């Protein structure tokens, strides 16, 4: 059978829009759950349920926040990449990428609890040390870190970067910075939908502005990952950390994009412009990033394992201890070997049912990946803060803390889905006046 | 040596554009021809579908080629570094848990063997390299590297007939229809 050639007659002049009522129920549920979860989380984070809950839940919240932030940053990445590389294939799914990316500025809200000193006490040991040093140094943290009982040479030499003032400035800058990039690119794209004489000028402007957007994304993603996750252990350093987080972000943002495009098609939208060829192309990207994730995460492990230098191996020693070792092994086989073999076949990437399962599976693996990044620090960190002088009660795992992880994850998750659905519902589902929409609709592998 | 016996290779017809060629290819495919080919100055997207070409079996060769590379690399490093001459580096174990040290080799040999299988599998499936091709006897085929779009139907095709095929090519819009005769050089 010859391919059906999509012509401009099949692209509605005013584009396709989501009938918002059809998703109203899900949106309302998400908003209620996010609101209720937020109300439940606040007292937990302020410590009204006790110190143990506060310490444990701080990590849960960081986990939930960071998981969905990586997805949003991945959405920004795909939008930028699509513009920079002058791609034609993905014009019909580009709006979905923009919508996933445009959740990023909103992730500022779930980030706010991390700014509380009560929460930071449990998460970031270096901040405690800085605060103590400031008292001891008579108002000068730098002096306190260099002299007397609060001296810590490592923190002293890292002071130019790792200090509270700069940390707060960074945290407040990340979201407006990358948020502006994605807002601006999405606006360029959305404005075209109502332009009576759409030309190529926006296309070229999007490409031009994405070129500086890429370094912004690189800086924001790398340093956000360093500031909120890697500094959980201030003594450890890894030059691959940013790219490691990036690999997972890009992979799983594409999984979300696949899920959204399939869901929209099952609801009867996008039918004229998205087909198995797009599924295949996006499936290839998922496959490529599965390999990329494995390459990066193994490299990080390999360098430390091989060099075997005491201060560098701590991260992996903790994650190879007791039950965490099984989680590490699950990642090797579950996050790489299984998806590699399952995604290798061409025909399977074109089957929607199969790709739904694969995308959900990869998102689940991403959950485990981030859990493995963040949560192993929790037991030691919280018990050390609560019982600084009785090493006997320091523990690897806090009983019952997984309840908090679920609550925080669901809360931030519902917030993410609510914003995503709001983004999708507020604009046309694909850029119907883009000069390359027909090229994309008729794309052929 | 124009006196030697010539063998009919097939008919070659020119089409005026890539899109005319594409449409003609669909007709040749639907007419049920099996042994025929298209010649164009540049790759035409989707032409393989228009010609009804099935997917190559090369990927399966490559998968097993890569798997062979992976296993070879593992055995090579394991047998030498753990079995025959256990090498202790920085107090690391010399057993199955040494495997991360072998990963780069396993990766490289997987890529190398996949690459070799791709190259030699491709050459084998396309019956390359070869000294000559009967189509080169045509007077106009050189234009396929410049501005000509050609369809060629081989005489070996069971549906081929001297007059019928010529008429068919004419019917689907072919011009400069030429009987290509292989002179055996």
Which residue in A1, A2, A329, A333 has the most chain B C-beta atoms within 10 A of its own C-beta, making it the best mutation to test that interface?
Answer: A2
Q: What is the pLDDT of residue B89?
A: 79
User: Which chain B residues contact residue A308 at CB under 8 A?
Assistant: 90-92
- Does B63 contact A at CB distance below 8 Å? yes
| Min Cα–Cα distance to chain B from A328, Å | 13
Question: Using CB atoms within 10 A of its CB, is residue A14 exposed (0-12), middle (13-18) or buried (19+)?
Answer: exposed
User: Which chain B residues contact residue A306 at CB under 8 A?
Assistant: 100-101
| Min Cα–Cα distance to chain A from B79, Å | 20
CB nearest A302 (choices: B55, B90, B103): B103
Question: Using CB atoms within 10 A of its CB, is residue A296 exposed (0-12), middle (13-18) or buried (19+)?
Answer: buried
Whether residues B103 and A298 touch (CB distance < 8 A) is answered with yes
Largest CA distance in chain B: 81
How many other C-beta atoms lie within 10 A of the C-beta of residue B78?
A: 16
> Cα separation of A377 and A200, whole Å?
51
| Contact by Cβ (8 Å): A145, A137 | yes
- Spans of chain A below 50 pLDDT: 1-2
Q: What is the pLDDT of residue A261?
A: 95
Main-chain phi, psi angles of B154, to 5 degrees? -80, 150
CB nearest A444 (choices: B45, B63, B91): B45
> Cα separation of A357 and A344, whole Å?
15
Residue A435 token pair: 């000069």
**Domain ranges within chain A, ordered by starting residue:** 8-125+164-441
CB nearest B100 (choices: A3, A302, A444): A302
Whether residues B59 and A3 touch (CB distance < 8 A) is answered with no
Structural element, H or E, at residue B12: strand B7-15
> Cα separation of B71 and A392, whole Å?
47
Structural element, H or E, at residue A281: helix A276-307
C-alpha closest to that of A350 among A427, A257, A277, A401: A277
> Cα separation of A73 and A53, whole Å?
30
Contacts of A130 (CB under 8 A, 6+ apart): A141, A145, A155, A163, A164
- Does B55 contact A at CB distance below 8 Å? yes
The mean pLDDT of chain B is 90
* Orientation of helix A276-307 relative to helix A352-374, angle to 10°: 30
| Contact by Cβ (8 Å): A100, A74 | yes
Q: What is the pLDDT of residue A3?
A: 59
Whether residues B101 and A2 touch (CB distance < 8 A) is answered with no
> Cα separation of A56 and A381, whole Å?
9
Q: What is the pLDDT of residue A1?
A: 35
| Contact by Cβ (8 Å): B39, B141 | yes
Higher pLDDT pick, B119 / A53: B119
| Contact by Cβ (8 Å): A271, A265 | yes
**Domain ranges within chain B, ordered by starting residue:** 7-54+127-182, 58-125
Q: What is the pLDDT of residue B185?
A: 57
Whether residues B92 and A308 touch (CB distance < 8 A) is answered with yes
> Cα separation of B25 and B31, whole Å?
10
| Contact by Cβ (8 Å): A105, A183 | yes
- Does B46 contact A at CB distance below 8 Å? yes
Instruction: With a cut of 50, say whether residue B1 has pLDDT above it.
Output: no
| Residues facing B39 on adjacent strands | B150
| Min Cα–Cα distance to chain B from A2, Å | 7
C-alpha closest to that of A42 among A104, A106, A107, A109: A109
| Contact by Cβ (8 Å): A343, A365 | no
Whether residues B63 and A344 touch (CB distance < 8 A) is answered with yes
| Min Cα–Cα distance to chain B from A295, Å | 10
| Contact by Cβ (8 Å): A118, A54 | yes
| Min Cα–Cα distance to chain A from B107, Å | 10
| Contact by Cβ (8 Å): A3, B46 | yes
Whether residues A305 and B100 touch (CB distance < 8 A) is answered with yes
């Amino acid at each position: 059978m010859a391919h059906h050639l999509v012509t401009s007659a099949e692209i509605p002049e005013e584009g396709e829009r989501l009938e918002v009522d059809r998703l109203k129920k899900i949106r309302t549920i998400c908003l209620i759950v996010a609101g209720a979860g937020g109300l439940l989380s606040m007292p937990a984070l302020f410590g009204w349920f006790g110190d143990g809950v506060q310490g444990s839940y701080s990590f849960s919240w960081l986990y939930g926040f960071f998981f969905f932030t990586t997805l949003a940053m991945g959405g920004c990445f795909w939008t930028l990449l699509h513009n920079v590389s002058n791609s034609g294939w993905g014009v019909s799914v580009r709006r979905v990428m923009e919508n996933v990316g445009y959740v990023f500025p909103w992730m500022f809200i779930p980030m706010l609890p991390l700014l509380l000193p009560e929460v930071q006490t449990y998460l970031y040991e270096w901040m405690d040390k800085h605060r103590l040093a400031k008292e001891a140094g008579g108002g000068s943290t730098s002096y306190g870190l260099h002299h007397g009982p609060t001296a810590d040479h490592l923190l002293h030499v890292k002071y130019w970067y790792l200090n509270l003032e700069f940390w707060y400035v960074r945290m407040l800058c990340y979201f407006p910075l990358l948020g502006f990039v994605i807002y601006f690119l999405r606006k360029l794209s959305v404005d075209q939908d109502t332009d009576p004489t759409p030309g190529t000028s926006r296309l070229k402007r999007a490409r031009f502005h994405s070129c500086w957007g890429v370094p912004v994304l690189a800086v924001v993603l790398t340093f956000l990952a360093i500031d909120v996750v890697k500094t959980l252990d201030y003594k450890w350093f890894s030059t691959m950390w940013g790219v490691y987080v990036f690999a997972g972000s890009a992979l799983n943002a594409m999984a979300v994009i696949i899920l959204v495009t399939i869901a929209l098609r099952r609801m009867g939208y996008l039918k004229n412009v998205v087909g198995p060829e797009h599924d295949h192309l996006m499936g290839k990207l998922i496959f490529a990033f599965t390999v990329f994730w494995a390459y990066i995460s193994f490299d990080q492990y390999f360098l430390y394992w091989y060099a075997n230098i005491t201060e560098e191996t701590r991260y992996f020693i903790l994650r190879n201890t007791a039950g965490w070792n099984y989680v590490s092994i699950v990642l090797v086989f579950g996050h790489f070997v299984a998806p590699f073999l399952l995604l290798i076949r061409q025909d399977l990437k074109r089957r929607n049912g199969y790709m739904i399962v694969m995308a959900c599976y990869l998102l689940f693996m991403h959950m485990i990946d981030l859990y493995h990044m963040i949560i192993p620090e929790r037991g030691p960190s919280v018990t050390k803060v609560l019982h600084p002088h009785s090493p006997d009660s320091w523990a690897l795992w806090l009983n019952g803390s997984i309840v908090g992880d679920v609550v925080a994850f669901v809360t931030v998750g519902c917030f993410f889905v609510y914003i995503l659905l709001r983004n999708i519902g507020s604009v046309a589902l694909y850029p119907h006046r883009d000069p390359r929409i027909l090229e994309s609709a008729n794309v052929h592998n | 040596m124009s006196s030697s016996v010539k063998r009919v290779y097939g008919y070659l017809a020119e089409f005026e554009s890539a899109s005319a060629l594409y449409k003609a290819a669909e007709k040749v495919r639907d007419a049920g021809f099996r042994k025929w080919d298209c010649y164009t100055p540049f790759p035409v997207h989707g032409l393989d579908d228009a010609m009804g070409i099935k997917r190559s079996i090369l990927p399966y060769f490559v998968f097993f080629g890569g798997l062979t590379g992976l296993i070879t690399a593992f055995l090579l490093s394991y047998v030498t570094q753990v079995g025959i001459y256990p090498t202790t580096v920085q107090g690391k174990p010399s057993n199955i848990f040494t495997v991360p040290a072998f990963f780069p080799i396993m990766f490289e040999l997987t890529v190398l063997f996949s690459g070799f299988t791709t190259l030699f599998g491709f050459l084998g499936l396309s019956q390359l390299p070869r000294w000559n091709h009967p189509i080169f006897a045509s007077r106009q085929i050189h234009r396929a590297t410049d501005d000509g779009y050609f369809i060629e139907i081989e005489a070996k095709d069971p549906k081929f007939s001297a007059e019928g095929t010529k008429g068919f090519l004419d019917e689907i819009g072919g011009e400069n229809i030429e009987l290509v005769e292989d002179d055996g050089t």
